[in-house]
A and B are shown apart, each in its own frame.
Chain A
Amino acid sequence: MKKILFIEDDNAIQKTLGEGLRNKGYDVVSATDGEEGLEFSKDANADLVILDLILPKMHGLKVLENMRKEPATAETPVIILTNLENINEVEQALEFGATTYLVKANYSLEEVLNKIEQSLGE
């Protein structure tokens, strides 16, 4: 079973997308703030990280930057899932090695689930 670390502070998004992924047979580990997400990423051994940007305690880009410094998570695929659409954030996320940058409002739940499946090569 593939493992996904889902770092998202919005309760509704956590619940809907998290449950959608579980229904598709993934093992989903949830974190609700940046610090917790970074901490979990060290031990979770996740196949994929879904990362929001506006997070309490630590900004998503900082989480990503720190993840890349850790040997255990330096190569883990990361999907940025946010509602921020600034070119600065997109460029910085890609520079830190994000695999995909998705703007939540531009996709339906089904489309996001499909994109996550594609990222996991399924």
Chain B
Amino acid sequence: MNSFNLFKTCKRKYNVPLWQCPQFMFVMMGIVIMASSLFFYALGQRYLIQPEVLALIVMLIATVLLVIAFVVTRSFEGLAETNKVKDEFINIVSHQLRSPLTSLRWASQFLSKHKENNLDPNTCIEYFDLIKENSIRMEKLIDDLLIITRLNDQKVDKRKANFSLSDLVHEVVKEYETVANRFNIKIKVDQEDIPLVYSNEYLIRIVLRNLIDNALSYSLENSEIKINFKNKGKKLGITITDHGVGIPKDVKKRIFEKFFRAKNVIHKKVHGTGLGLYICKLIMNTLKEKIWFTSKEGESTTFGFSLSINN
């Protein structure tokens, strides 16, 4: 029965709005042709003695049909474009997955010949660290791809509950302490007494992880990342500010795009997939909340979002 449901078919099969869906347009054209045939029959009966009126109406109907045909063509172009975007996505994903896999394979091959390669125990540990780092990188990419698929298919659990955003922030900051210490970056969290928020803790944790990871990637060594809360009555705002390279003006529009990474990333040891901010945007859209940023190139960047306060 589902195949007769145009709404579901168009969404699932083509991921385009109903008016761009070929099946819908086909049904519409059929209806218009049948209606116009009946209309002409009725008109012919009435205006047989005035053929110019009939000709004018036929021309009008032909114009309508032409417009519909044009829309159908455009909808096919839209589908082709969607397919192209999907192909590009698959290409980038394959590249992103292959890179850590190659690193894993080559590092283990190099280690397996440790005698031939004159590797001392300390150097061996360095190679094991490389293997670990690349496994984490691959795991992160797979996690990112899975959450994107679930968000796009609307299969993610988006139920909301009350929780402490402050506690969550502290937990996430703790996860990033080692990386922050490596670059001597201090993450300072505002200690204000803040109310509970009403949202999805699992999804907000992902957003916070990505924003802090991003702040670390673009911060200068020996700098500070500030996390502040602002009680706006019905909403609780949170901002994450890094002091680093900022976002160049020409790429500001692309910052939430899939696989976009600004070229001025500083700490390449913090491996990014280029999906973090895209995921943040997807999550905030799913939760019907907004995410924003301000940035001054060469100075700082602030990302922020607001959540409803405990209801």
Q: Which A residues are closer than 8 A to B by beta carbons?
A: 9-13, 15-17, 19-20, 23, 32, 54, 56-57, 83-86, 104-105, 108-110
Contacts and interface: CB of A to CB of B under 8 A. Distances in A.
B265 A56 contact: yes
Contacts of A20: 110, 117
Contacts of B99: 10, 13, 83, 104
8 contacts: A13-B103, A13-B106, A15-B107, A16-B110, A19-B110, A108-B106, A109-B105, A109-B106
A9 B271 CA distance: 11
Contacts, number: 68
Contacts of A108: 105-106, 109
B171 interface: no
A63 to B, nearest CB: 14
Instruction: Label chain B's interface by main secondary structure.
Output: helix
Interface residues of B, number: 27
A104 B110 contact: no
A20 B110 CA distance: 8
Contact of B110 (A56, A84, A85, A109): A109
Given A9-B268, A11-B269, A19-B117, A83 B110 contact: no
B219 interface: no
Interface of B: 91, 94-95, 98-107, 109-110, 116-118, 126-127, 130, 133-134, 263, 265, 268-269
Contacts of A12: 100, 103-104, 106-107, 130, 133-134
A20 B114 CA distance: 11
A11 B106 contact: no
Contact of A83 (B98, B104, B118): B98
A15 B102 contact: no
Given A16-B130, A109-B106, A109-B109, 7 more contacts: A16-B106, A16-B107, A16-B110, A32-B268, A56-B263, A56-B268, A104-B98
A23 B118 CA distance: 9
A98 B115 CA distance: 35
Give 3 nearest A-B pairs by CB, closest first.
A12-B103, A83-B98, A109-B106
A105 B268 contact: no
B126 A15 contact: yes
A84 B109 CA distance: 22
B92 to A, nearest CB: 9
Given A104-B102, A110-B109, A23 B117 contact: yes
Given A11-B269, A12-B133, A15-B126, A105 B109 contact: no
A106 to B, nearest CB: 9
B101 A105 contact: yes
Contacts of B127: 15-16
B263 A57 contact: yes
Nearest to B262: A56
Chain A CB within 10 A, most for which of B98, B100, B118: B98
